């Protein structure tokens, strides 16, 4: 649904996006993560045909960037970093304006559908400027969806929302995934990205890492089983040098065992520990967060440059 090859954009001497190769599949929720100033917004602008690349090519929704820009803009929805609502227009009028610009067949019906979906129908006659930040964000999301786009670019969709409203947005993203809509999600909420995204890209002017959150974490840290023992005995580490065990460490009295395939190897590991007379209290998998990975990879990227 989105494919780019060598996409590059400069602003004077500043390279905002460098040689970006990306493929995002139809129906995929794709997280685009990076620090402020990394070029995420520029990437969204490039992919939504708002600005032209200096080099490289790309297609969005099967349409070629640069040649079919207008058609691309018809097929994509963009939620910008700030809601950007017409504050002197009513909520309903503002949405109707965009529905008409997108040539939605029955604009009033679609506007009503999205206002009801976001629980804003009763506020349709209120001026957009009178709404709370969270409500404004919901209106902005409704605006990005009102023409039923094939690709949705969301720049920090839950940034100013209360937990309840943020959940509405996350649920909506899940719903859109089931409807085969492709979602390109820029967020600083890494927990959200971890939960929602099929794959994530870590980006800082250039692509640093790409894969599913699980793949990336496993690739970086491997899989580790934590064994809690009632009475940690010395020498257990050496006794656990089994062929499938990559590494054993003792941290705070617990054993950290690196394994390639914990689902198959954990039972053997536990059996061995029991044979060695260890009193096993709990066994669980050590889970790294996307935040750990994000910070590690960014640090590595900064050190490399």
Partner 1 sequence: MRRISVILFKEWKESLRNKMILFGAIFLPLLMVGAAVAMVYQGRTSGPPGAEVALFNTALMYFLILPVIIPLAIAVYSIVGEKEQGTLEPLLATPISDWELFVGKALVSVLPAVVLTWGSFGLFLGVSVALLGRIPPHALTAPWLAAVFGLTPLLSLFSVGVTMLVSSRATDARAAYEFSSLAVLPALVPLIIYSTRKTIVSLGLVAVEGVVLLVGSAVVLYFAIRMFRREQILTRWK
What does the binding site for partner 1 look like in residue numbers (CB under 8 A)?
A: 11, 45, 48, 50-52, 70-71, 73-74, 76-78, 80, 82-89, 93, 97-98, 100-103, 127, 140, 143-144
Pick the closer one to partner 1 by CB: 108 or 268.
108
DSSP 3-state percent helix, strand, coil across the chain (nearest 5) = 40, 30, 30
Short-list 184, 149, 152, CA closest to 74: 149
Pick the closer one to partner 1 by CB: 99 or 257.
99
161-198: b or e for each residue (b if 16 or more CB lie within 10 Å)?
beeebbebbbebbeebbeeebbbbbbbebbebbbebbe
Closest approach of Cβ 166 to partner 1, in Å?
21
Short-list 286, 259, 238, 234, CA closest to 267: 259
- The answer to whether 121 touches 160, Cβ cutoff 8 Å, is no
Residue 224 burial (CB < 10 Å; 0-12/13-18/19+)? buried
Pick the closer one to partner 1 by CB: 2 or 259.
2
Closest approach of Cβ 178 to partner 1, in Å?
25
The answer for 226, left when phi > 0, alpha when psi is -120 to 50, beta otherwise, is beta
Pick the closer one to partner 1 by CB: 86 or 288.
86
Q: Look-up: residue for tokens 């002017």? A: 205
Closest approach of Cβ 17 to partner 1, in Å?
13
Closest approach of Cβ 78 to partner 1, in Å?
4
Task: List, in sequence order, every residue forming a beta bridge with 155; answer none if it has no partner.
Answer: 186
Pick the closer one to partner 1 by CB: 90 or 258.
90
d(C-alpha 242, C-alpha 238), whole Å: 9
What is the token pair recorded at 42? 């520029």
Pick the closer one to partner 1 by CB: 142 or 200.
142
Closest approach of Cβ 69 to partner 1, in Å?
9
Closest approach of Cβ 45 to partner 1, in Å?
7
Closest approach of Cβ 2 to partner 1, in Å?
16
Pick the closer one to partner 1 by CB: 73 or 224.
73
91-101 and 107-117 helices cross at what angle (nearest 10)? 130
């Amino acid at each position: 649904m989105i494919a780019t090859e060598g996409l590059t954009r400069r602003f004077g001497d500043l390279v905002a996006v460098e040689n970006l190769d990306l493929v995002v599949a139809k129906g995929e929720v794709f997280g685009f993560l990076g620090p402020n100033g990394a070029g995420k917004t520029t990437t969204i602008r490039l992919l939504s045909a708002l600005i032209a690349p200096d080099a490289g090519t790309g297609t969005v929704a099967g349409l070629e960037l640069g040649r079919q820009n207008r058609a691309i803009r018809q097929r994509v929805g963009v939620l910008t970093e700030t809601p950007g609502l017409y504050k002197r227009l009513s909520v309903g009028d503002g949405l109707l304006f965009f529905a008409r610009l997108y040539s939605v067949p029955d604009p009033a019906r679609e506007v009503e559908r999205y206002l009801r979906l976001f629980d804003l129908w009763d506020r349709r006659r209120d001026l957009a400027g009178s709404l709370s930040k969270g409500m404004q964000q919901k209106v902005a999301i409704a605006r990005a969806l009102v023409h039923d786009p094939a690709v949705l670019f969301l720049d920090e969709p839950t940034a100013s929302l209360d937990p309840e409203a943020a959940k509405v947005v996350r649920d909506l993203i899940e719903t859109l995934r089931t409807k085969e809509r492709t979602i390109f999600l820029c967020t600083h909420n890494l927990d959200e990205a971890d939960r929602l995204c099929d794959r994530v890209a870590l980006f800082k002017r250039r692509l640093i890492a790409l894969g599913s959150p699980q793949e990336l974490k496993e690739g970086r840290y491997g899989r580790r089983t934590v064994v809690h023992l009632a009475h940690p005995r010395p020498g257990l580490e050496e006794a656990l040098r089994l062929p499938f065990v990559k590494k054993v460490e003792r941290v705070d009295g617990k054993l950290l065992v690196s394994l390639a395939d914990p689902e198959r190897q954990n039972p053997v590991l536990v059996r061995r520990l029991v044979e060695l007379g260890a009193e096993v209290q709990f066994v669980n998998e050590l889970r790294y967060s996307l935040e750990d990975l994000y910070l590690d990879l960014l640090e590595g990227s900064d050190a490399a440059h």
